[in-house]
Amino acid sequence: MSSETMRAATARRYGGPEVMAIETLPRPVAGPGQLLIRTAAFGVTRGDARIRGLDVPRGMGGLMRLIFGLTRPRRPIQGREFAGVVAALGDGVTGWTVGDAVMGITPGMRLSAGAEYCTMPADGRLTRRPDTLTPEEAAGYFFGLLTAADFLLDQAKLQPDERVLINGASGAVGIAAVWLAKHLGAQVTAVCSPANHDFARRFGADLTADYARPLPAGPFDVVLDVAGTLPYSRAKPLLADGGRLALITADLKGQLGANLRPRRGTHQLLAGVTKETPAALTRALAFHAQGYRPPITALPLTDIQQAHLHASTGHKHGNVVVTL
Ligand SMILES: NC(=O)c1ccc[n+]([C@@H]2O[C@H](COP(=O)([O-])OP(=O)(O)OC[C@H]3O[C@@H](n4cnc5c(N)ncnc54)[C@H](OP(=O)(O)O)[C@@H]3O)[C@@H](O)[C@H]2O)c1
């Protein structure tokens, strides 16, 4: 491989994990205000799997095509979350040095983190990696925790001692939500398959339940539907007076319903897209100083299809990252 090329994980068409390929492509160059990052690891999230396969909740496919490419992916290099080191600075970049250990998430829907090199604007979505996080942990850090914090703290305004049910508690978002809710002092009921109940308990769940059986009656002050299987019609009997239902995986009907008619009696419906602001990243990293470490399964780049297969199942154990 020449010093001007790199290996990248690409998808040239929408489809299953088999569309993922490893290509040799030109290395990007840091433009003005950008940094070139030598990537050590990148995340393969449920979100990445959804983009690759256009496998999205009902009614959202058209919007995804508009964002990512009508007939095929506009940007073939996949991946959003990464950890690495600064390899070069573009014109006008201050405050960073070549060799700095960094982690971050590519802005908006730009993708491109799944390669040996990527460029990033020098804004707050690029942060320094604490020594206490490995590159693999750093590459799987933000997706789940940012989402859990956005829905639990900012939207549902979860309070200490409140009762929260987390439906889909052992994947990237759910396990972060279990930790965060417990850390806040809430009473946490984690719903996932029995094989993952010990895992959820290790992250702080007080009670566990199996989604294949009737759910605990509650009542719950907050129901966090990570898995997308608890629309209001199913969640309503579980909610306490004043209860909030946070729909992390809502189809178009659920999104519109929550936005147009958020109040249902004393209940509140919440939905939307996770905010990835610099302030949100700073807050998420502060939770590491308070004890949060994301659970990681790491695979080499040669297993990129395997990583996508795992991320597509809807039964992922924490986070999957690919190392370079
Ligand atoms: N709104 C947003 O901005 C936003 C942001 C990030 C993610 N999301 C969405 O959040 C969802 C979860 O992401 P993730 O990365 O946490 O996924 P994941 O890692 O694949 O985890 C899925 C979780 O759901 C559980 N599960 C599977 N089938 C279930 C069922 N029938 N009932 C209840 N739980 C079930 C799994 O448990 P077992 O493995 O034990 O079966 C696992 O705990 C995805 O749909 C993703 O698109 C939305």
The model's pLDDT over 43-67, given as tens digits with 9 standing for 90+, comes to 999 999 999 998 887 888 888 898 8
- Domain interval for residue 219: 144-271
The model's pLDDT over 96-124, given as tens digits with 9 standing for 90+, comes to 999 999 999 998 778 899 999 999 999 77
Question: For residue 1, what pLDDT band results from cuts at 50, 70 and 90?
Answer: low
Q: Is 99 exposed, middle or buried (0-12, 13-18, 19+ CB in 10 A)?
A: exposed
**Range with lowest mean pLDDT among 196-200, 240-244, 258-262:** 258-262
300, 205: one domain: no
CA atoms within 13 A on the CB side of 246: 29
125, 175: one domain: no
The arithmetic mean of pLDDT across residues 59-85, rounded, is 91
96, 203: one domain: no
**Range with lowest mean pLDDT among 66-75, 89-98, 305-314:** 66-75
151, 27: one domain: no
Residues 6+ apart with CB under 8 A from 218: 163, 165, 237, 238, 239, 240
Q: Is 323 exposed, middle or buried (0-12, 13-18, 19+ CB in 10 A)?
A: middle
In a domain, 277, yes or no: no
230, 246: one domain: yes
121, 164: one domain: no
312 close to ligand 1 (CB < 6 Angstrom): no
- Total structural domains in the chain? 2
Residue 311 CA, closest ligand 1 atom number: 20
Mean pLDDT in the chain? 95
Nearest to 49 by CA among 78, 73, 8: 78
Residues 6+ apart with CB under 8 A from 134: none
- CATH number reported for the structural domain that contains residue 87 in this entry: 3.90.180.10
172, 267: one domain: yes
167, 44: one domain: no
218, 236: one domain: yes
155 close to ligand 1 (CB < 6 Angstrom): no
Residue 306 has pLDDT above 90, yes or no: yes
In a domain, 218, yes or no: yes
> What distance in angstroms lies between residue 45's CA and the mean position of ligand 1's atoms?
10
Residue 228 has pLDDT above 90, yes or no: yes
262, 305: one domain: no
Ligand 1 mutation pick, 211, 238, 273, max ligand atoms within 8 A of CB: 211
82, 12: one domain: yes
